Structure 1
Amino acid sequence: MRILQHTSYTVLLMILLILGSTDLQGQKINDITVNSSNVCAGNEIIISFEVRNGGNNQFTRSTQYTIEFGTGVGNNNDNFLARGVQLLFTADNAPDPFNNASAIITKSFLIPDDTPAGNIYVFRISSQNPNAGGSKKEVSDTFEVFAKPATPSASSNTPICSRGTLMLFANSSETNISYNWTGPNGFNRTNEQNPTINNATAAMSGDYSVSITSTTTECVSSTATISVFIEDENKWNGSVDNDWNNPGNWDCGRIPDLNENVRISGTGIPNYPVLNSGSAGQSKNIILESMASLEVLDNALEISGIISNNGTFNASNGTIEMKGNSFQTIPNNTFLNNRIKNLTINNLSDVSLSGDLEITGILNVENGNLNSAGFLKLISDATQTALIDGNGTGEIIGNVTIQRYIDPAFGYKYISSPFNNSTVGDLESYVNLDASFPLFYEYDENRQDLDGNDATGWSAYTTRSGSLNPGQGYAINMGTSSSAATIEISGIVNNSDYNRRLSNNNGTYTKGFHLVGNPYPSPIDWNATSGWNRTGIDDAIYLFSADNSDQFTGTYSSYVNDISSSGTNSGIIASMQGFFVHVTSTTGGNLGMTNSVRINDFNNHEFIKASASTTPLIRIAAGFENEQLNDPMVIYFDSYASLDFEAELDALKLMNTNKNVPNLYSISANKQKLLSINAISDPVKKNYQKIPLGLSTEKAGDIIFSLKNFDNISENFNVFLIDQERQTSINLKKRDYKVSVGKGQFNTRFFLAFSPLDNISSEEIIEPPFTLMSNQQKINIKMNLLQHENGTIRISAIDGKLIELVPVRANQEITIDGIKSNGVYLVSFTSGNQQYSKKVIVRK
């Protein structure tokens, strides 16, 4: 008795050694060994036996042997009942020739599936060249064959979607059995009838096989094989509605994520997806078949894989975020009209464009780089101007085309370049660079003529190869068309820090002003809490608006401390916009900025932008009668302000170039600064403090003063305009004031005063330029002028004879004691166009 191994089975064999003939010639078969234990129908067993030659027999490898399988007991060949299964073979492993020699021959034999169990079986082995005495020599062991278990049935829950649970099912009528499953990627489950695989992937698709093993006989059944398909796409079916975020619209019963491919078929779909409400959509690869459609509307779609579109992909009012971990491409003609609203790059392995793409909203290169390949365009129209978010850490590689919508495109516009490689020639489609009268200018604060005299800062700049320097402003004359126009230029966008040293040479005409510009492809915030370096620079900015009838003239407005002189400006400076700043000191200043000053602002994208303020302010305007335009200025109240010029609170006055618009301004107490915005402390309510106004005109005419805004102030507060020359005051809350003036500058005639009373006389509110304090023998005069005011006192007799002429200023006190006789005398004050006279009696 011997216990032997075959594959994974252990079999017990009863081996009977039957001795063969001892003839000296031929071959004798000895020692059959069955290398198996319990023999199972349908299984293969190994048979070994010895072949020994007689003395004179010549044996070769071509000698054929026969193994027969059947029933029979002992060494009686007549009892052998063959099962009709034979194995014919040659002794390929024996020596050739061998005389008086032996060889061990080993062969496998397959027990037929239909072999009845419970019988005793033997093998009969014969040689083509047997020894004398017979053609067959049975030398056999006996063994029992056990039945092969019936093949189990097998099934699964597929097809299923990736990341679902794969469920395998097996069933058998056999008892006392165990199950064994095998499948792709080394899948192997033993002693488990119905295994499951969580988070199944498409790579797990393939053939799965199951067999059963009898725990009694250890016989193994044939395998049952099933094909399993795990879908790597979540297909849109639209069976409920068109909502992307409704799980019922997806074959997989769930909303796709970044690890799942999406397919939208072009046929048989009742509702095509719209990504509108709810969370942002996600997809790995996204595939739109022919005739399919997808719309992203006021929402975002994140894509981590490829885009394959043969249908209609509409993101004109949506956001696309490229969010892969490997390199991604946006193919040509991916989106409807090659236009989307917003694009976000969030891929450290970079993204590239392979065709035209227009963006109407925000481009944010948050992580990784975007290779534009020259295909990218930022759109500007009457609604808004596209921008590049300055908060991203990535870069845009390659040229970008940027548009700038201008309405109307009439006259001069102050512009700047958002690129680091732009030239004047890039603008020749919009301005005649060869015009006899130059139409494109740069500004030089220290410009002088050929004789070394101060000159205006404007210098013609029409050389096509001339650089448009980042952060520098330029003036372009767009011509006489009142229609809108769109400037479009291309280059490498600025995305770095900007710094420029500015001088103040106190020129006669330039007065320390510089024309600078927004260097970025996005708006910047003048009020940003970080990112600015404005050492030695006033806090005000100044913007230009072209006239609507004369292409060479216009008006200026200002902005400081969240206050706009015109009410049309804010601290948001649009992309490609030029503006003036003023250097505070003659030692110069520094203007620097970083990406921190950039913002994403669409509320007001035009060159002149609206502003709203909660600060108490009064906006007064002066304009010629029957002219459409006027010139506003602002007085606002700040508890920290004074009557002096303060660079962080006040804005200077840049004179308008349109002669049909007067210049209205306030005058500071110190240094006679002309102010378009003047911050003062809360007025003293009962002393009628006067705020001096100035008016400058380039022609004579009737001027109308009006109160345009009375914001965030108590209704009990009244604003009076004082005309010192006419010794009259008008409550501007009740009506405008009209007065005729000539060409010139009027800096001592007009004042503002404030009062809680709305009905007071001019005598109460108007303080005369001087007060007489006569002691009947002398004339004592106390001047009531402002600190910067001056003039002349004239003492004359009633007949006009001049007695004395004295220059005076501010609050000066003088005494006239040279009068020799009694009488009535006339004391007169003159200052510019202002005159005031009063009689006095002298008794000696």
Structure 2
Amino acid sequence: MTKIITKKTSVLAIALFATLGTFAQTSVWTGAIDNNWNNVSNWSLNAIPTLQTDVQIVHTSGNYPVIDGEDGSAECRNITVDNDASITLNGYGVLRISGTVSASNTISALGGTVSFIGTTPQTLPAGAFFNGAVYSLTTNNAQGVTLNGALAVNGVLTLQNGTFNTSNALTLKSNAQNTAKVAESAGSIAGNVTVERYIPARRAFRFLSSPTTGGTINSNWQEGSPATDPVGLGTDITGTGGAANGFDASGSNNPSLFTFDNETATWEAVTTTNIDLEAGVPYRMLVRGDRAVDQTSNAAVATATTLRTTGTLTTGNVLVSNLSPAAGAFNFVGNPYQATVDVQELLADAGATNVNANFYYVWDPTVNTRGAYVTVNVDANTNSNPSSVANKYLHPGQAFFVETAAEGTAWLTFKESHKYTNGTSTPNLYRTNSDNEGAAIALTLYTDESLAANGPSADGLVVRFDDAYSNDVDAFDAKKPANQDESIALVTNGQNLSYESRAMPVDGETLALSATTYRAANYTFKANTNGLNGVSAWLKDNHTNTLTELQNNAETLYSFTVAEGEAGSVAEGRFEVVFQSTLSVNNPSAAQFSVYPNPATGSTFNVALAGAEEITVTLYNQLGQAIAAQATPAGDTFTITPQTQLTDGLYMVEITSGSKVYNSKIIVKH
């Protein structure tokens, strides 16, 4: 019997075929060739899976798919990974899923990105990912994505579309290498998020803020003050009233957590930690280490710790309206996002009103022995202290200061577009040194002990020169916040500055310096001078009545001592920078000498002393022992080659010329 196909049945068959065509086909991984997801010969359907393809990863003889971005991204609809099989994401690999996931610890996504881009509600099942973690996660589903079990994100969370429901099970991780961030997002998030912030070991104040709102300070940063303190987590916070006010016990109950009143410009000790922790509220906190550090012992060693907060994660615009209306006032502000923020964009945005858009100020705990203020020039992306890596990119969980520009209302608005996720942001932050400052002098103060140990500076300042700038104090000049310890500043029109922009210097011009709060006896200025034309810069020591040339396009060291019994040695105005025409420097009014190169890479170095008689150069080690001496004939420049091979370290150079004796220091680094 022959079946007759009529027009009607033909149409029905075509319609049925079209309907069946909307169902996904299932492609089984064979791994017949290699581990490349995008090799058609590795799939049973002999085709690369699409968002309409169901994928099944089954046990094979050894080749399991690796998605690393080198051969393109991967995508599928529903994905099933058998218990004795696996998928691995590395590097820039991306796995896009439009359907469901069925796996048990068999998807390793410790690198790359997993992206959920369905058109119907999607679920991240519990235990699907190896070690319960992914590097980066993207949700792009208008119908929403729901997390059904604990998941840690180590890299970047991107909320492109729809609502991501965390079910209170999401953690954004932080460690010594990296801190997870939330990228610029158009989507939303529901449910609590736990956010970590790794703090390196150093007993120092930190400027901190939380990216979440919820719980108390005690339940978050103090881990709820458990009976048994966890190692590597939380920190002790002390204050008046002790445990009754949520604080941890200490011998003195001295406060370790402070807020700043922008109106009165005063630090205020937090009176209790049993208050809510709110996103974006800035704090100054002394972090001694984790909660296992013994606060009753003066010998307790600081440890690294991870601070955790849990609550509603901040996304969207955030208005900061509690800034002082007083011209030149400093305002304490906290980063409300779990994201790196481009402060240049923040300050220049139309959502910022009456704030200085050129600078912001951070407290860098790595500078000096317990931290110091660092001024960041957001336009040049440089800062006032070369020991700091602070730059225009504000870290997650970091608080900072901005300056009110003029009398009147001031505010800031954080926006999603200010987030910066194109680069890596580490907890130790802060700056790259690639930006060219042009003509400038960067002056840095070191204790001799720190300099010899290649340690951090005590403080620093920068003055840059261009005829586009004015010598009056204006928005291109940054005020100097006073440090706890050593502070140096430029003094212009009665104002202390950490970063000054001036017209190109001329013959006879003088820059007054302020240096205060000395804690040691022996110090060295390190000056990096660049781009001066027609004039030379000289550091004048009014206590010793000496002038030291700051070598152009080079580094110059000047060593000095301070003593409590010598008022001139600790006088705030002891130092100044003077400029002389390069046509007149052969007639110095005071001693002009330099030792270079400094640091030296070997045992040979040079001494420049204009118009000197026969000189004798004596070299001393750090114990004050004379280890070499060399006499030379009269001249201007002398090459010194000690017979003793110099090892790495700091040496005192004594130069005797007639009845005059000059001292300097030199660093040897082979």
TM-score computed with the length of structure 1 as normaliser: 0.58
Where 2:411 maps in the other structure, the secondary structure is: strand
Q: Which amino acid in structure 2 is aligned with residue 579 of structure 1?
A: F
Q: Which amino acid in structure 1 is aligned with residue 431 of structure 2?
A: A
The within-5 A match list for 1:478-517 is 478-479=287-288, 481-502=301-322, 504=324, 512-517=329-334
Partner of 1:763: 589
Offset at 1:554?
3.0
Contact 1:292–1:311 (8 Å) recurs in 2: no
Partner of 2:13: 187
For residues 175 and 10 of structure 2, what CA distance do their matches in structure 1 show? 58
User: Structure 1 residues 253, 469: closer, same or farther in 2, change over 3 A?
Assistant: same
Is 1:591 aligned to 2:412, yes or no? Answer: yes
Match of 1:667 among 491, 498, 522: 491
For residues 323 and 202 of structure 1, what CA distance do their matches in structure 2 show? 18
User: Structure 1 residues 505, 363: closer, same or farther in 2, change over 3 A?
Assistant: closer
The within-5 A match list for 1:407-422 is 407-422=200-215
Match of 1:340 among 116, 134, 140: 134
The within-5 A match list for 1:433-444 is 433-435=247-249, 436-444=253-261
Partner of 2:115: 321
Offset at 1:472?
2.8
Offset at 1:464?
2.7
Contact 2:447–2:520 (8 Å) recurs in 1: no
**Tell me, which stretches of 5 or more residues in structure 2 are unaligned?**
224-234, 238-246, 289-299, 565-569, 593-670
Offset at 1:758?
11
Is 1:645 aligned to 2:464, yes or no? Answer: no
Contact 2:182–2:339 (8 Å) recurs in 1: yes
Is 1:626 aligned to 2:445, yes or no? Answer: no
Could you report, residue by residue, the CA deviation over 1:530-578 in whole angstroms, capped at 9, with x for unpaired residues?
646332322321111337997xx53111112323001321010001101
Offset at 1:258?
0.3
Is 1:728 aligned to 2:533, yes or no? Answer: no
Partner of 1:393: 186
User: Structure 1 residues 400, 311: closer, same or farther in 2, change over 3 A?
Assistant: closer
For residues 546 and 765 of structure 1, what CA distance do their matches in structure 2 show? 38
The within-5 A match list for 1:71-82 is none
Offset at 1:188?
7.4
Q: Which amino acid in structure 2 is aligned with residue 665 of structure 1?
A: A
For residues 422 and 480 of structure 2, what CA distance do their matches in structure 1 show? 28
**Bigger CA drift: 374-383 or 752-761?**
752-761
User: Structure 1 residues 682, 284: closer, same or farther in 2, change over 3 A?
Assistant: same
Where 2:589 maps in the other structure, the secondary structure is: helix
Q: Which amino acid in structure 1 is aligned with residue 66 of structure 2?
A: V
Partner of 2:272: 463
For residues 368 and 272 of structure 1, what CA distance do their matches in structure 2 show? 32
Match of 1:657 among 461, 468, 484: 484
Offset at 1:614?
1.6
Offset at 1:371?
0.1
Is 1:543 aligned to 2:335, yes or no? Answer: no
Offset at 1:681?
2.1
For residues 757 and 520 of structure 1, what CA distance do their matches in structure 2 show? 55
Offset at 1:478?
1.5
User: Structure 1 residues 483, 657: closer, same or farther in 2, change over 3 A?
Assistant: same
**Tell me, which stretches of 5 or more residues in structure 1 are unaligned?**
1-148, 153-177, 190-195, 204-230, 448-455, 767-844
Q: Which amino acid in structure 2 is aligned with residue 252 of structure 1?
A: L
Where 1:619 maps in the other structure, the secondary structure is: strand
For residues 486 and 758 of structure 1, what CA distance do their matches in structure 2 show? 59
Offset at 1:356?
0.8
Contact 1:351–1:371 (8 Å) recurs in 2: yes
Where 1:527 maps in the other structure, the secondary structure is: helix
Partner of 1:358: 152
Match of 1:609 among 426, 430, 441: 430
Could you report, residue by residue, the CA deviation over 1:58-111 in whole angstroms, capped at 9, with x for unpaired residues?
xxxxxxxxxxxxxxxxxxxxxxxxxxxxxxxxxxxxxxxxxxxxxxxxxxxxxx
Partner of 2:242: none
Contact 2:27–2:49 (8 Å) recurs in 1: yes
User: Structure 1 residues 534, 181: closer, same or farther in 2, change over 3 A?
Assistant: closer
Match of 1:692 among 493, 512, 515: 512
Offset at 1:254?
1.1
Q: Which amino acid in structure 1 is aligned with residue 63 of structure 2?
A: N
Offset at 1:755?
5.6
Offset at 1:419?
1.7
Partner of 2:561: 740
For residues 473 and 256 of structure 1, what CA distance do their matches in structure 2 show? 49
Is 1:533 aligned to 2:325, yes or no? Answer: no
Offset at 1:503?
5.0
**Bigger CA drift: 573-582 or 750-759?**
750-759
TM-score computed with the length of structure 2 as normaliser: 0.73
Could you report, residue by residue, the CA deviation over 1:609-632 in whole angstroms, capped at 9, with x for unpaired residues?
013322213211123333454211
Q: Which amino acid in structure 1 is aligned with residue 284 of structure 2?
A: A
Could you report, residue by residue, the CA deviation over 1:649-691 in whole angstroms, capped at 9, with x for unpaired residues?
2211112202xxx3211122x3x1111111112234xx24322
Offset at 1:481?
3.9
Is 1:431 aligned to 2:236, yes or no? Answer: yes
Partner of 2:83: 290
Partner of 1:570: 391
Is 1:520 aligned to 2:373, yes or no? Answer: no
Offset at 1:703?
3.2
User: Structure 1 residues 286, 523: closer, same or farther in 2, change over 3 A?
Assistant: same
Where 2:93 maps in the other structure, the secondary structure is: strand
Is 1:300 aligned to 2:118, yes or no? Answer: no
Where 1:528 maps in the other structure, the secondary structure is: helix
Q: Which amino acid in structure 2 is aligned with residue 465 of structure 1?
A: N
In terms of fraction of residues, the more strand-rich structure is 1
Q: Which amino acid in structure 1 is aligned with residue 415 of structure 2?
A: T
Offset at 1:428?
1.7
For residues 422 and 458 of structure 2, what CA distance do their matches in structure 1 show? 29
User: Structure 1 residues 369, 638: closer, same or farther in 2, change over 3 A?
Assistant: farther
Contact 1:574–1:607 (8 Å) recurs in 2: no
Match of 1:255 among 40, 48, 68: 48
For residues 580 and 183 of structure 2, what CA distance do their matches in structure 1 show? 46
For residues 322 and 284 of structure 2, what CA distance do their matches in structure 1 show? 19
For residues 293 and 283 of structure 1, what CA distance do their matches in structure 2 show? 15
Where 1:533 maps in the other structure, the secondary structure is: coil
For residues 655 and 414 of structure 1, what CA distance do their matches in structure 2 show? 15
Q: Which amino acid in structure 2 is aligned with residue 442 of structure 1?
A: T
Where 1:254 maps in the other structure, the secondary structure is: coil
Where 1:762 maps in the other structure, the secondary structure is: coil
User: Structure 1 residues 197, 398: closer, same or farther in 2, change over 3 A?
Assistant: closer
Where 1:763 maps in the other structure, the secondary structure is: coil
Match of 2:522 among 676, 699, 702: 702
Contact 1:202–1:232 (8 Å) recurs in 2: no
Could you report, residue by residue, the CA deviation over 1:332-379 in whole angstroms, capped at 9, with x for unpaired residues?
011101111111111000000000111111111101110000111111
User: Structure 1 residues 504, 421: closer, same or farther in 2, change over 3 A?
Assistant: same
Q: Which amino acid in structure 1 is aligned with residue 385 of structure 2?
A: S
Could you report, residue by residue, the CA deviation over 1:313-334 in whole angstroms, capped at 9, with x for unpaired residues?
1111010110100000000011
Is 1:677 aligned to 2:504, yes or no? Answer: no
Contact 1:633–1:664 (8 Å) recurs in 2: yes
Match of 1:275 among 33, 42, 67: 67
Is 1:309 aligned to 2:103, yes or no? Answer: yes
Offset at 1:440?
1.2
Partner of 1:168: none
User: Structure 1 residues 188, 199: closer, same or farther in 2, change over 3 A?
Assistant: closer
